[in-house]
A and B are shown apart, each in its own frame.
Chain A
Amino acid sequence: MDYATLLQVLDSTVRLATPLLLACLAGLFSERAGIVDIGLEGKMLAAAFFSAAIAAVSGSVWLGLLAGIAASMVMSGIHGLASITFRGNQLISGVAINFLASGITVLIAQDWFSQGGRTPSLMGGGRFESITLPFAEALRGVPVIGPLYYELISGHSILVYVAFLMVPLTWWILFRTRFGLRLRAVGEAPEAVDTAGVSVVGLRFAAIAICGLLTGLAGAYLATGLQAGFVREMTAGRGYIALAALIFAKWRPWYALYACLLFGLLQAVALRYQNIDLGGFIIPVQVMDALPYILTVVILAGFVGKAIPPRAGGEPYVKER
């Protein structure tokens, strides 16, 4: 493999890792606060549809982004209402959200655009354009570093940079701020937070609001950055992969980055090398495509060391008695 090919694979790794990373960090905020969120997939899907639809109608990708975030946050709100306010089962609520999103996106898409459940292809201002960082053109000729900067670091859409900057920001919020301390505490021992005079419900809603915001970004990026429009089920299990990455990352922001890059790399390799010829034996494309999902299964089956989830995860907070 030559240097240029390597850069291309890494470049698409970054693009493909972006929605995973945003969703993974979204799940991190939610689960660190003790709310298991299996509905990442559904929220992302809803955000993808509404961002594409509004961008298509208005011609503004920014309005689309806002619509996507709003849709995702509404779904977060439903999840919060069910699992925090009414202390329902968080898994069931999440699954319901996934079904809801899966059905409602196609239904509305058909009703609005009559294109078989997709939105029209986005053009011009309806998509996030790639950003060329300063000096990218000028430095392009410099050996090794020039192409690295131009291909890999420069030339992504704004949401990619947002996603990667979210990693240190998340770390900083969790481990350096009062809000982060309380958020982590409410996922470990809500009774400690309650007796310290801080609202458990308030903290958990704050966490899922952040979760909604980030899944909104993830979905919008899928439909208006990575691709040009919405197609049915376009999240293709990315919400679940993000959850697997979260477990792999042991609920830590930096590890989440590495886990998502690994999944992104597998997807990029599958895209680039459709059939791999190993001296007579050909690995078919389906195997390559399946790799991220196989890794997900392996991780979820617990083959990668012991991951200790937040202790109060999945349990509604009820004062004893």
Chain B
Amino acid sequence: MTDTPAIELKGISKAFGPVQANKDISIRVMPGTIHGIIGENGAGKSTLMSILYGFYKADAGEIWVNGSHKDITDSQAAISAGIGMVFQHFKLVQNFTVLENIILGAEDGPMLRPSLARARGVLKQLAEEYELSVDPDELVENLSVGHQQRVEILKALYRQADILILDEPTGVLTPAEADHLFRILDHLRAEGKTVILITHKLREIMEITDTVSVMRRGEMTATVKTAETSPEQLAELMVGRKVLLRVDKTPARPGAVLLDVQNLRHVDDAGVERLKGVSLQLRAGEVLGIAGVAGNGQSELLEVLGGYADATGSVTMKGAPLPLSGAGSDGSARRAAGIGHVPEDRQEEGLIMPYTAWENTVFGYHRDPRYQSGLLMNNALIKQEAQDKMTRYDVRPPNPNLAARNFSGGNQQKIVLAREIERDPDVLLIGQPTRGVDIGAIEFIHQEIIRLRDKGKAILLVSVELDEIFSLSDRIAVMFDGQIMGERMPAETDQTELGLLMAGVTERPEGSLIAAVDASLHEKEAREAGQHD
């Protein structure tokens, strides 16, 4: 290993309007290593990497690649410097084949045929070398997310990238797919390639990186050897104070069944069946975690239970049946029945972004007679209560007159939580409680959920973060393709078993895990393609 860094950034700064996304950032990435960049949402990780890839232009600073100063003004310049990037949101043409996506922008000449032929050969070679097999003639839209990511990696390798940047690559993967990705990265490192891994997951950093840089509020706060640090230290560097990574909780004392769901079926507007006979029981005083990769029916389950999607089957609340379509099946009826709902997408479903915080703290409950004052609403009371709730839920800044969009993700979530929890529901549906929420706020939200459980409430938790499911749930159900694949107790299972269930694999396979996962996901894609036609 030489002493010349593969990438050296010197004093990079970038502002978007008044927001300083990157402040005087310097970093050295050594060749043949996996270098992690960790930080909370909005810390400036993605911006920094987009600058390195020429997608944004830095206001100040220099980029050095393999010891020479490079002026990276656009992605073409980055590609020629040997840099490849896999964005968090893939940059693929959905109705092109894999092969067409690979050669786009890197064609050999004005005619396609020779380019496609050469790419086919190179692809085959890369697939064998790095376990990156994918059907070159399949349309990208028919591929699973994991395979689409492989196409992105192949794109970079086809352009002979020596330095590969991956932005939050595991957010959309099943654990088995994530493990496979890490094996590929390991292999790339062994081949002498340099990998920059951007993530907010501490576990991934500890598992795969050699060196890790921590960003906070646009600044690089530390660069340390992974072997010489700990998750606790990294969390502290990210947040700027000590954080509790484990949730403290006592064993659950489940009581009577509050919510009983039997054979729930839901067909979406496109005619695709999203819930295929879901049955589950939710007891007082427990957290039931629904694990699964996004898009396997969890969202629809929340929508049906929350009262804004129709379904067939039966749902009873404390023994009383709830209508699943027509009159009495809407959100306000559900709230009246004692079901609170913290929706998955807080910006679309949980809040009205241009409205003030105090208005947002009563939506859904604004017909409460307490808030009426003759024909008008008693805004003074609502404001006063909002102020009170915001203080208790540690919303920062605690100013009820600010519009919802002016709060950070974590504080927006606290506003929604305050609204729902303060109504004292018997059942709380909660989707992705900490998506886009920083570590400090995660700690608070998790404690609130457990506190509610300990008061004897029933909580249905949907999350794509397996760590979150493990740390909060008293019982775990895994959803795949609109069905519950199985229920497990957290103490009696592990990430691998749940990961397989999340991919629809119910029996531990004899041979390769990833092969079994691939096969199952492929079957699902085929079924969906069949439903669309």
Given A176-B113, A178-B107, A181-B107, A197:B94 Cβ within 8 A: no
Q: Are the C-beta atoms of B74 and A197 separated by less than 8 Å?
A: yes
Instruction: Determine whether B1 belongs to the interface, using a CB cutoff of 8 Å to chain A.
Output: no
What total of chain B residues lie within 8 Å of the partner, measured CB to CB? 33
Instruction: Determine whether B95 belongs to the interface, using a CB cutoff of 8 Å to chain A.
Output: yes
Instruction: Determine whether B105 belongs to the interface, using a CB cutoff of 8 Å to chain A.
Output: yes
CB 8 Å contact bits of B109-146 with A (1 = contact, 0 = none): 11111010000000000000000000000000000000
Q: Are the C-beta atoms of B55 and A195 separated by less than 8 Å?
A: yes
Q: Which chain B residue has the least Cβ–Cβ distance from A195?
A: B91
Instruction: Determine whether A273 belongs to the interface, using a CB cutoff of 8 Å to chain B.
Output: no
Q: Are the C-beta atoms of B106 and A196 separated by less than 8 Å?
A: yes
Instruction: Determine whether B92 belongs to the interface, using a CB cutoff of 8 Å to chain A.
Output: yes
Q: Are the C-beta atoms of B105 and A182 separated by less than 8 Å?
A: yes
Instruction: Determine whether A193 belongs to the interface, using a CB cutoff of 8 Å to chain B.
Output: yes
Question: A142–B155 Cα gap in the complex (Å)?
Answer: 59
Residues of B within 8 A of A196 (CB): 75, 79, 91, 104-106, 155
**Interface segment, A58-66, A184-192, A237-245, A257-265?**
A184-192
Q: Are the C-beta atoms of B91 and A191 separated by less than 8 Å?
A: yes
Given A185-B93, A185-B96, A321-B16, A193:B112 Cβ within 8 A: no
CB < 8 Å: which of B55, B77, B94, B111 contacts A311?
Answer: B94
Given A181-B107, A188-B96, A195-B75, A176:B112 Cβ within 8 A: yes
Question: A229–B113 Cα gap in the complex (Å)?
Answer: 45
How many A-B pairs have beta carbons closer than 8 Å: the answer is 76
Instruction: Determine whether B182 belongs to the interface, using a CB cutoff of 8 Å to chain A.
Output: no
User: For chain B, what secondary structure do more than half of its interface residues adopt (helix, strand, loop), or is it mixed?
Assistant: loop
Question: A262–B258 Cα gap in the complex (Å)?
Answer: 64
Whole-angstrom distance from the CB of A181 to the nearest CB of chain B? 6
Instruction: Determine whether A298 belongs to the interface, using a CB cutoff of 8 Å to chain B.
Output: no
Instruction: Determine whether A179 belongs to the interface, using a CB cutoff of 8 Å to chain B.
Output: yes
Q: Which chain B residue has the least Cβ–Cβ distance from A196?
A: B105
Instruction: Determine whether A137 belongs to the interface, using a CB cutoff of 8 Å to chain B.
Output: no
CB < 8 Å: which of B54, B85, B93, B103 contacts A188?
Answer: B93
Residues of A within 8 A of B105 (CB): 182, 193, 196-198
Whole-angstrom distance from the CB of B81 to the nearest CB of chain A? 11
Q: Which chain B residue has the least Cβ–Cβ distance from A178?
A: B107
CB < 8 Å: which of A178, A188, A194, A319 contacts B111?
Answer: A178
Residues of A within 8 A of B77 (CB): 197
Instruction: Determine whether B100 belongs to the interface, using a CB cutoff of 8 Å to chain A.
Output: yes
Q: Residues on A close to B: CB < 8 A?
A: 175-182, 184-185, 188-189, 191-198, 311, 319, 321
Q: List 24 A-B contacts (CB under 8 A).
A: A175-B112, A176-B111, A176-B112, A178-B115, A181-B103, A181-B112, A188-B94, A189-B91, A189-B94, A192-B91, A192-B104, A193-B105, A194-B55, A194-B91, A195-B75, A196-B91, A196-B104, A197-B75, A197-B77, A197-B78, A197-B105, A198-B104, A198-B105, A321-B16
